[in-house]
Every structure is written in structure tokens, then in C-alpha cells.
Structure 1
Amino acid sequence: MLGNFCYSNPTTLYFGDKALDNLKKELVHYGEKIQLVYGGGSIKKNGIYDQIISILQEAGKTIIEDGGVMPNPTIEKVYEGSKLACQNQVDLILAVGGGSVCDYAKAVSVSAYCEKDPWDTYFLQMKKVDNAVIPVGCVLTMVGTGSEMNGGAVITNHEQKLKIGRVFGPAVFPKFSILNPVFTFTVPRYQMVAGIYDIMSHILEQYFSGQDDNTSDYISEGLLKSLIYSSRIAVEHPCDYEARSNIMWIASWALNTLIAKGKSTDWMVHMLGQAVAAYTDGTHGMTLSSVSMPYYRFILPYGLKKFKRYAQHVWDVRTENKSDEEIAGEGLDRMEAYLKEIGCVMSIKDFGVTADMMEDICDSVFILKGGYHVLTREDVIRILTESLC
């Protein structure tokens, strides 16, 4: 392990098929007014909404409803929710849904009392939060982002063609999150698979950095092997509780800051995928899968040692009579076959991207320096072009 770091995660997690029973005891810590945040209405169809409303009413809470959060939450929606929170002086924002709903809730929590434009202040300029933050709690119904146990919020600005993820500090982490794997059973297969790859991508973004013998990498390999195993079961049997519970738990540990410790971390797959999504509104996990293989094949020569290790430890590639390049390449081949097997999107053309959009999408890609190779503009164009194939 290299460097010096501090690890702290203030979120309390309640996990299991009885997890929602803990909501009432958490509510006693907050005031009367609860802003109930949710998405397009699926929680009303599957009965989760009624369960939440009943618990809130029994606790004597005043409910301020804030529905209609879209899969890629927009800054316009954040402005709307922030105004609602400020005007009603809410005491808690309760997010019921997937990662987009949780991200939105956190963005509202820091924006409600921001005296300046929160998009410019917190997402473009990345300034420190110096205003009051409204507490957030989460009831998770779809897994993938890990937003239930971190300070991240990814928000889209369609006018500026930007999709930006801001990682806020511990004050913005959810105070509590409720994780019942049964709540994920009714998620459509496409969304489930998108979440599975989002989890995998989070782990890989942190894994493919650094050359030291790092305990975080051993943890990452274990999480990846469990994810691959359980996801294959879940794709065939969506209501398999053990598989779905494992996936839900892996998602939280993939991005709760633990496996990033002692790492530089990469995150270029997210920068590429989010740029595609800013132009197409494509599903997050699927935009990541669509650019991943071209990106990883491009940077493989720069991080050959780690890619070889990945092939051996995660994909069980045999090494006899093979060069390091062959071993590493076979690992990526097995990864690609797995992505196709579970139903990931493998080309950005599936989102409507065409060759004449390359330059504009490239302009929306933020270049980061934590991975094995710092991309040039020409590199980005090449990767995006190969993602069209």
C-alpha cells in the first residue's frame, strides 16, 4: 500500500428482506417535513410507495412529494427540487429508487440553500460546500451506482451537453440506507444488466491504477468474481434472492471509497460513457459497457502487468506457453464474451451515435490523469470511433 489516507463512511446500512422495518426508528431523528423523492412511478405499481407512505404517516410526518426523477437527472429537475426543499424547509430528503434518485436527492440536499447557481458552483467549479446541507436517507430499489453509501451525484445539463459527477464529502453521504434485495426483483432485465455493469466498471476504474502490491486490489478481485458468478444466475433467475442480495451488497462496497484507498484510480471509462450519455441520454451502465472494451484494449500496453494479473485472478486464464500480452489479451476477450452473454450494449451506435458526432462528444470528455495513460484528443477520437464498430 502506498500513500497516506483516512477512511470513514458515515452511512448506516440496513440490509435484508426485513430492512424496511428500520425506517421508522431512523425517522425519529429528523423533523416533521419529509421530501419524498422517487422516479417514474414504478414504486407505486410494485407496492413500495404504499409501504413508505404508511410508515411516514404512522411516524406523524408531513410528506412533500417530489416524483418524476428521470434516469439521468437534469439540473433543471435539481433546481425544481431545491426550490421545493427550501420553500418547505424540509428536515429530511428520503430517496426511494435507484442510483439516479439517490444522486438527485444528494444534489438537492446541497443546492437547496446555495445562494449561487449550484450547477456552476458545485459541478463546474467544484467548489467546497459552505451552505447548509439537508440530510438524505435512501430506500434502494435498483442497484449499480453505489450512491446509497457515498457522496456522489451525477447530474446532466442538456443545454451544455455535459454530464458531470461530483463527489461530495461525508456531510452529503446518506445518513442511512435501506437495502432489501426483494425490492430489486421487478427491475426490467435491461436495467438490471446496466446496473451489473455499472458495478463492474466502478471496481475496474479503481483496480486499473497503480503498480504496487495493494490490498485494495485483492478485495476488488474478490468482488469481481462474486459479481460475475451471481450476475449469471440473476440473468437467468431474476428472483434468486441469494444472487440478487450478493449483487446489491457488492454494489455498495464497489463505490463506498474503501477499495480506492491507496490507489490513484482511473475513471476514464466513466468520462467517455458520460460524454456519450450527455448527447444521447443513454442508460448509464450501458454507455459504460459500450466504450469499455476499446478503452481497455487501448491502455493495455501501458498497464500490462495489471491486465495480466486481471486475466489470471479474475478470468482464470492459463499462462503456460503464453506471452504476457497474450495472457492479458485473453482476459479482455473473456470479459467481452461475458458482457455479450449477460446482454450489455457493446457499441455506442446503439444509442444513435454516428461518426459525425465524434468531435462534439470528444469536446464533452473530461481528461483525468489517474490511470495508466493520459489520453490525448486523438486517443479519445480513436476510442470513440472503435466504440462505433
Structure 2
Amino acid sequence: MLGNFTYSNPTKLYFGEDSLKSLNEELPKYGERVLLVYGGGSIKKNGIYDQVIRILADNGKTVSEVPGVMPNPTVEKLYEGCRIAKENQVDLILAVGGGSCCDYAKAVSVSTYCEEDPWEKYFARMEDVDNPVIPVGCVLTMVGTGSEMNGGSVITNHEAKMKIGHIFGDNVFPKFSILNPAYTFTLPEYQMVAGFYDIMNHITEQYFSGTDDNTSDYIMEGLLKSLIHSSRIAKKDPANYEARSNIMWIATWALNTLVACGKTTDWMVHMIGQAIGAHTNATHGMTLSAVSMAYYRHICPYGLAKFRRFAINVWDVNPEGKTDAEVAEEGLKRMEDYMNELGLVMNIKELGVTEDMLEQVADSTILFQTDYKPLTRDDVIRILRASM
């Protein structure tokens, strides 16, 4: 382990089939006015909405709502939520849905009492929060983002062609999150497998950095092997509780800041994927899968030792008689085969990206200083073209 770090995670988790009952334990800690945030209405069809409303009523809460939170929450939707939260002077924001709802709730929580344009302050300039924050709780119905136990929030500005994530501090983490794996059973397969890859990429974005012997890498290898095993089961049997519960737990630990300890991390697949999402509004996990193989093959020669380790420890490649480059490529090929097995999108054309959009997408891509091969704009264009 290299460097110095501080680890803290203030989110309390309630996990399991009876976890929604724990709302009764949390709600008395907050005032009477609750803002309920949810997506396109699936929670009304599957009965989760009615269960939550009943618990809120039993606890004497006055409820206002922001329905229709989209998979890639927009800045216009953020402004709407801030207006409703402020008008109703809410004491708690309760997100019921997937990661986008959780992301959105956190964005509203920091933006409602922001004295200037929150997009400019928190997403364009990435400034720290210096205004009152409304507490957030989450009831998770889809896994992938890890937003239920971190301070991250991603907002899309279609006018600016930007999709930007801000990692806020401990004071913005959800105060509590309720994780019932059974709530994920009815998710359409496309969204389910996109979530699986979002989890995998959260792990690899952190794994492919550094050259030291790092305990976080061993943890990530275990999470990846568990994800590969359980996702194959869930693909064949979406209602397999054991598999879906494992995946839900992996998703949380993939991005609750634990495995980032002692790591520099990468995040360029996310930056390129989010730029694609800003131009196409494509499903987040699929934007990641579409560019991952081109990106990892691009940086592999510069981080060869880690890619070799990845091949052996995650994909069980036998290194005997092979060069390091051959071992690394076999690992990437097995990863690619697994992605095809799940039915992930493997090229950006399928997401609506055309040749004449490549330079615009590259211009929307935020470039980070990464360990193995820091990218230039021209590199991003090459990776995008290789992903066509």
C-alpha cells in the first residue's frame, strides 16, 4: 500500500428481503416533510411505491414528489427538483429506484440551497459544498452504480453536450440505504446486464492503476470473480435470489470508496462513456462496455504487469510457456467473450455514434492524469474509432 489515505463511510445499510421495514427505524430521525424521488413509474406497477407511501404515512410524514427521474438525469430535472424541495421545505429526500434516482437525490440535496447555478458551481467548476445539504435516504431497486453508499452524483447537460460526475464528501453520502435483492428481479434484461458491466467497470477502473502490492487489488480480484460467477447465473435465472443478492452486495462494495484506498485509480472508460452518453443518451453501462476493450488494449502495453496479473487471478489464464503480452491478451479475450456472453453492447455504432460525431465526443471527454497511459484528445479519437 502506497501513499496516505483517510477512510470513512457514514452510510448505514439495511440488506435483505425484510429490509424495507427498516424505514420505520430511520424516518423518526428526520422532520415531517419528505420529498419522494422516483423514475418512470415501475415502482407503482410492482407495488414498492404503495409500500413506501404506507410506511411514510404511518410515520406521520407529509410527502411531496418528483416522479419521472430519467436514467441520465438532466440539469433541467435538477432545477425542477430543487424548486419542489425548496417550496416544500423538505427535511429528507427519499430516492426509490436505481442509481440515477440516488444520484439525482444527492444532486438536489446539495443544490436546493445553492445561491448560484448549481450546474456551474458543482459540476462545471467542481467546487466544494458550502451551503445547507438536505439529508438523503435510498431504497434501491436496481444495482450497478454503487450510488447507495457514496457521494457521487452524475448530471447531464444536453445543451453543453456534457455528462459530469461530482464526488461529494461524507456529508452528501446517503444517511441510509435499503437493499432488497428481490426488488431487482423484474428489471428488463438489457438494464440488468448493463448494470452488471457498470459494476465490473467500477472495479477495473480502480484496479488498473499503480504497480505496488496493494491489498485493495486482492479485494477487487475477489469481487470480480464473484461477479462473473453470479452474473452468469442471473443471466440464465434472473430470479435467483442468491445470485442477485451477491451482485447487489458486490455493486455496493465496488464503489463505496473502500477499494480505492491506496490507489490512484483511472476512470477514463467512464469519461469516454459519459461523453458518449451526453451525445446519445445511451444506457450508461452500455456506453462503458462499448469502449472498454479498445481502451484496455490501448493502455495494456503500459501496464502490462497488472494486465498479466488480471488474466491469471481473475480469468484463470495459465501463463506457462507464454509471454507476458500473450497472457495479458488472453485475459482480455476472456473478458471480451464474457461480455459477449452477457449480451453487452460492444461497439459505439449500436449506441448511435457515427463517424462524424467522433471529434465532438472527444471534445466532451474529460481527460485525467492516469498511471499507465495518459490520453490525449487524439488518443480518445483513436479509441472511439477502434470501438466503432
What TM-score do you get using the length of structure 1 for normalisation?
0.99
Q: Which whole-Å CA distance do the structure 2 matches of 1:85 and 1:14 have between them? A: 26
For the residue of structure 1 that corresponds to 2:166, the secondary structure is strand
- How far apart are 1:87 and its partner, in Å? 1.2
Is 1:129–2:129 an aligned residue pair?
A: yes
Is 1:222–2:227 an aligned residue pair?
A: no
- How far apart are 1:227 and its partner, in Å? 0.1
Q: Which whole-Å CA distance do the structure 2 matches of 1:295 and 1:370 have between them? A: 13
Question: Which deviations, in whole Å up to 9, do the C-alpha atoms of 1:306-336 show, x marking residues without a partner?
Answer: 0000000000001111000000000000000
Is 1:89–2:84 an aligned residue pair?
A: no
Q: Which whole-Å CA distance do the structure 2 matches of 1:73 and 1:24 have between them? A: 29
Aligned to 1:264: 264
Q: What one-letter code is carried by the residue in structure 1 that aligns with 2:356? A: D
Q: What one-letter code is carried by the residue in structure 1 that aligns with 2:108? A: V
Aligned to 1:35: 35
For the residue of structure 1 that corresponds to 2:264, the secondary structure is coil
Q: Which whole-Å CA distance do the structure 2 matches of 1:372 and 1:18 have between them? A: 45
Q: Which whole-Å CA distance do the structure 1 matches of 2:282 and 2:200 have between them? A: 18
Question: Which deviations, in whole Å up to 9, do the C-alpha atoms of 1:197-255 show, x marking residues without a partner?
Answer: 00000000000000000000000000000000000000000000000000000000000
Aligned to 1:9: 9
Q: Which whole-Å CA distance do the structure 2 matches of 1:378 and 1:304 have between them? A: 22
For the residue of structure 2 that corresponds to 1:195, the secondary structure is helix
Aligned to 1:153: 153
Aligned to 2:182: 182
For the residue of structure 2 that corresponds to 1:94, the secondary structure is strand
Q: Which whole-Å CA distance do the structure 2 matches of 1:98 and 1:29 have between them? A: 24
Q: Which whole-Å CA distance do the structure 2 matches of 1:66 and 1:55 have between them? A: 18
For the residue of structure 2 that corresponds to 1:63, the secondary structure is strand
Q: Which whole-Å CA distance do the structure 2 matches of 1:372 and 1:259 have between them? A: 19
Aligned to 1:374: 374
RMSD of aligned alpha carbons: 0.4
Aligned to 2:77: 77
- The size of the alignment, in residue pairs, is 388
Q: What one-letter code is carried by the residue in structure 1 that aligns with 2:360? A: D
Q: Which whole-Å CA distance do the structure 2 matches of 1:344 and 1:242 have between them? A: 22
Q: Which whole-Å CA distance do the structure 2 matches of 1:330 and 1:148 have between them? A: 34
Q: Which whole-Å CA distance do the structure 2 matches of 1:312 and 1:351 have between them? A: 32
- How far apart are 1:371 and its partner, in Å? 3.2
For the residue of structure 2 that corresponds to 1:212, the secondary structure is coil
Which range moved further: 368-377 or 334-343?
368-377
Where do 5+ consecutive residues of structure 2 fail to align? Answer: none
- How far apart are 1:91 and its partner, in Å? 0.3
Which range moved further: 254-263 or 366-375?
366-375
Aligned to 1:213: 213
Aligned to 2:326: 326
Aligned to 1:291: 291
Aligned to 1:363: 363
Aligned to 2:165: 165
Aligned to 2:46: 46
Aligned to 2:386: 386
Is 1:194–2:194 an aligned residue pair?
A: yes
Q: Which whole-Å CA distance do the structure 1 matches of 2:169 and 2:370 have between them? A: 20
Aligned to 2:233: 233
Aligned to 1:62: 62
Q: How does 1:267-286 map to 2 (within 5 A)?
A: 267-286=267-286
Aligned to 1:305: 305
Q: Which whole-Å CA distance do the structure 2 matches of 1:230 and 1:158 have between them? A: 36
- How far apart are 1:191 and its partner, in Å? 0.3
For the residue of structure 1 that corresponds to 2:332, the secondary structure is helix
Question: Which deviations, in whole Å up to 9, do the C-alpha atoms of 1:5-55 show, x marking residues without a partner?
Answer: 110000000000010010011000000000000000000000000000000
Q: Which whole-Å CA distance do the structure 2 matches of 1:370 and 1:356 have between them? A: 27
For the residue of structure 2 that corresponds to 1:259, the secondary structure is coil
Q: What one-letter code is carried by the residue in structure 2 that aligns with 1:23? A: L
Aligned to 2:348: 348
Q: Which whole-Å CA distance do the structure 1 matches of 2:17 and 2:218 have between them? A: 29
Q: Which whole-Å CA distance do the structure 2 matches of 1:46 and 1:334 have between them? A: 37
